[in-house]
Amino acid sequence: MTHEMRTSAPNNGNGRGRALVLTVGIDSPQDKMIVESLVADIRLFRPVFIMLLATSQSEPTARRMIDMLEFSPENYQIVTLHNAHDLRGIFQTAKDGIRHLIKRGFEPRRISINYSSGTKVMSTGLVLAALTQRCEMLRYNKHSENTVERKSSYTSPRVVFAYHHLLEALHFFEQLRFQSTKDSIDRIEQDLLDDADIIVLDELRILTSAFADWDNFRFTEALEQLKGIEGQGYLTARFFPKTSQLESLNAMADSVGERRYNEMLFADVFNNALRRYHSARYDDAIIRAYRALEMQAQFILHDQFGIDTDRVDTRKVPPKYRPDFDALRSMDDGLVRIGLRKSYELLRLLEHPLGQTFCAHPGLKEMMETRGRSFLSHGVQPMSREQALDFIRFTGDVCRAMIPRFEELCAELQFTWLERENDVWNIPRKDEVTKNGA
């Protein structure tokens, strides 16, 4: 910490009192007039506590101000800055000081900042610190070469906060944190934005809802949201789905409405798993990749063999293996239901190449055990990056065996700003990086 506390702890704000933080410059004829103006302004403002940021050279001026104000020791604090031109040090010191006041009970909206005195670097450091702590009143005593006005000008930085929330919302959107995006948007005071930023905000609001729907497989709702964007603004140029993607969304919406699968749905679920992987949500990634595998088996069994995995007609199972599947019949409703492993096993018994590819994959046993240990499956083991990557690659291998242009299809369907993230087969494992680095 680059400051020195000179007095006892401040009064507790109790959420009601007002505090003032100000920079103090060296004693000079010009600063003498500023000091008198500051003192007059402080008397008018009537804070219960003031914090003065001063260098060793300007500390006498700070103490003269305290004497003029007749403040008790518990009502002020002098914080010593070690360099009047060190922006980083001043910023850190001012930020720590404001945080100290907040911890004592002063609400940020009731902490005012006066940056009239001191070097420009001192003023800048204090204002920047105040913005990070969301202090809502900036005060400045105007002065010229010959006179100092007795009045302070007041500025609210809320317009900066509004723009910050907009940037924050955009960052969350790019990181696929759609609920956080919506929360940031809700905090924006729209009347503080200029016309251009309002257009960006309106676009972002629609895009967030649309991609949140798409990310949750609500394709029809996503399309309806996207219809609300007119023209091509700053965000739509970067994020709006391509024409081919809109066509795919329509096709997937139709498939879901008709309760049938298609290749685009498999690719979209795989992409969904990839997005969870790149968001470091590894358990989620594995579960979604698992679902992509399951969907493909269900699709082929139903489309090519007329078998519904939720009510298997065992008469369609090769006779030699029929007793094994009859043994799975539920005692409650008499139905035979099969999951992923049994679905691919049945495909193998039916001599379908995908069943043979899946069951012969060298990583099958390990991948199924990995999924079973996940918190979101049957176990209590959090999944690692490497485990998720291996499972996604395994899923990709199986999908590519069924759909020759699977990688191309995934790239076409991925969110436009994430297209580079789709080449999962070339993402190195940590142990591969270590080995190559060595």
Could you tell me if residue 346 is inside a domain? yes
Q: Which residue range is the domain that position 62 belongs to?
A: 19-156
The yes-or-no verdict on residue 150 having pLDDT over 60 is: no
Task: Please check whether residues 286 and 377 belong to one and the same domain.
Answer: yes
| Span 355-382, pLDDT tens digits | 999 999 998 999 999 999 998 888 899 9
Could you tell me if residue 165 is inside a domain? yes
* Centroid of chain to Cα 139: 34
Could you tell me if residue 12 is inside a domain? no
Task: Please check whether residues 126 and 179 belong to one and the same domain.
Answer: no
Instruction: Name the domain boundary from 193, 216, 240.
Output: 240
Q: Which residues contact 227 (CB under 8 A, 6 or more apart)?
A: none
Task: Please check whether residues 224 and 250 belong to one and the same domain.
Answer: no
Could you tell me if residue 360 is inside a domain? yes
The yes-or-no verdict on residue 118 having pLDDT over 80 is: yes
Could you tell me if residue 8 is inside a domain? no
For residues 295-320, give the mean pLDDT. Answer: 96
Task: Please check whether residues 216 and 320 belong to one and the same domain.
Answer: no
| Span 64-85, pLDDT tens digits | 999 999 999 999 999 999 999 9
DSSP 219-272: HHHHHHHHTT--S--HHHHHHSPPHHHHHHHHHHHHHHHTT---HHHHHHHHHH
Task: Please check whether residues 280 and 375 belong to one and the same domain.
Answer: yes
Could you tell me if residue 25 is inside a domain? yes
For residues 372-401, give the mean pLDDT. Answer: 92
Task: Please check whether residues 282 and 356 belong to one and the same domain.
Answer: yes
In this structure, of 19-33, 73-87, 274-288, 305-319, the range with the lowest mean pLDDT score is 19-33
| Span 174-216, pLDDT tens digits | 999 999 999 999 999 999 999 999 999 999 999 999 999 999 9
Instruction: Name the domain boundary from 213, 240, 267.
Output: 240
| Span 25-73, pLDDT tens digits | 987 665 667 788 889 889 989 999 999 999 999 999 999 999 999 999 9
Task: Please check whether residues 80 and 185 belong to one and the same domain.
Answer: no
Task: Please check whether residues 184 and 207 belong to one and the same domain.
Answer: yes
Q: What totals of helices (H) and strands (E) does the chain contain, helices first?
A: 19, 6
Task: Please check whether residues 433 and 285 belong to one and the same domain.
Answer: yes
For residues 125-147, give the mean pLDDT. Answer: 84
117: CATH: 3.40.50.10770
Could you tell me if residue 63 is inside a domain? yes
pLDDT value at residue 312: 97
The yes-or-no verdict on residue 282 having pLDDT over 60 is: yes
Average pLDDT for the chain: 89
Task: Please check whether residues 215 and 297 belong to one and the same domain.
Answer: no
Instruction: Name the domain boundary from 218, 240, 262.
Output: 240
Could you tell me if residue 260 is inside a domain? yes
Task: Please check whether residues 129 and 172 belong to one and the same domain.
Answer: no
Task: Please check whether residues 430 and 326 belong to one and the same domain.
Answer: yes
Domain count along the chain: 3
